Amino acid sequence: MRGVIFDGEKPRVVDDLEVRDPGPGEVLVAVRAAGLCHSDLSVIDGTIPFPAPVVLGHEGAGVVEAVGAGVGHVEPGDQVALSTLANCGACAECDRGRPTMCRKAIGMPGTPFRWRGAPLYQFASNSAFAERTVVKAVQAVKISPRIPAASAALIGCSVLTGVGAVLNRAKVDRGDSVVVIGAGGIGLNVLQGARLAGASVIVAVDANPAKEERARQFGATHFIDASAVPDSVKAVKAVLPTGADHAFECVGSTRLIRQAVDLLDRHGQAVLLGVPPATAEASFLVSSMYLDKAILGCRYGSARPQRDIALYARLYREGRLLLDELVSAEYPVEDFARAADDAHHGRVARGVLVFPE
């Protein structure tokens, strides 16, 4: 079967990838579409350390082909969106409803794939850049077959992360003010999460003025072109003179993390969603924090995938959540290099690799 692997030096598209059958509590999924996220590119450039060789991809949707013993919530033929959380379901964190904090959910990659006789790691317990993948049953969430696969694929990462950061982690309330730094795939979903939450002022900040139209479509009430102003903080404070209730950093820049903190009003909170290099350090004025400000990390939108993915799929079908509008381009898997280049240069909100039936 076809797939995209990273051998430790460069990515490559192969057509002789193999995946094992599902074991107890596992699901074999025929992937129909997979979004190309910057996290995949971060594995390639080393920003996210991950063992190689590895099958890339972690934002996908497809159709169940087979299930292992003990799986009852999905069956062959069901369309599913895939999450990256291979949480155990039995530890204290899972029991508290915090599966993103399950210590078995990360850091222990399996090797269900083989290529030319050698095992390959599974990225983010998912590896959606393959025609078929094996995941834990908890990662497969049944959704309506009426949702196009390319749109459904995006629920499991960019939507879950961006919208979830607003609703689950920041708990944005009606009338709050929100600043979103970076209007890419994650930032757009933060914008629409803020819109769903009822925020009154939603300011998008990006250095690419071409992103304004889409940012406003997703919920921005104001757009600041960071390339055209000498000081983005002053530009935001022209809109929000006392600062923002919530500032989301969606780029992964330590400079912009500092900017997010500087933009806060009293009692405000900065939520970090971008991924800088693993050893990066950021600074801020400690004295400013005594006004009840907070800096919040956020893993995967603090999501509960079986609940949240089903919710977002329903909101999409009700016309309240934008998915189709996130898909800027679809690429056959053989065009991975072009898709990666478009994502790297910010030409797309989300590019999606497709695997036709």
The pLDDT assigned to 216 comes to 98
Q: What is the DSSP string of 268-285?
A: EEEEE-S---TT------
CB neighbours of residue 17 within 10 Å: 22
Report yes or no on whether pTM surpasses 0.85. Answer: yes
The pLDDT assigned to 349 comes to 87
Contact 293, 268 (CB under 8 A): yes
Query: Residue 289, CB half-sphere, CA atoms under 13 Å: how many?
Result: 9
Element of type H or E holding 352 = strand 350-354
SS3 335: helix
For residue 48, how far is the Cα from the chain centroid? 14
Residue-wise pLDDT tens for the chain (357 aa)? 999 999 999 999 999 999 999 999 999 999 999 999 889 999 999 988 999 999 999 999 999 999 999 999 999 999 999 999 999 999 999 999 999 999 888 777 899 999 999 999 999 999 999 999 999 999 999 999 999 999 999 999 999 999 999 999 999 999 999 999 999 999 999 999 999 999 999 999 999 999 999 999 999 999 999 999 999 999 999 999 999 999 999 999 999 999 999 999 999 999 999 989 889 999 999 998 999 999 999 999 999 999 999 999 999 999 999 999 999 999 999 999 999 999 988 888 899 999 987
Query: In this structure, which amino acid lies at residue 173?
Result: D
User: Residue 95 is encoded by which pair of tokens?
Assistant: 């029991």
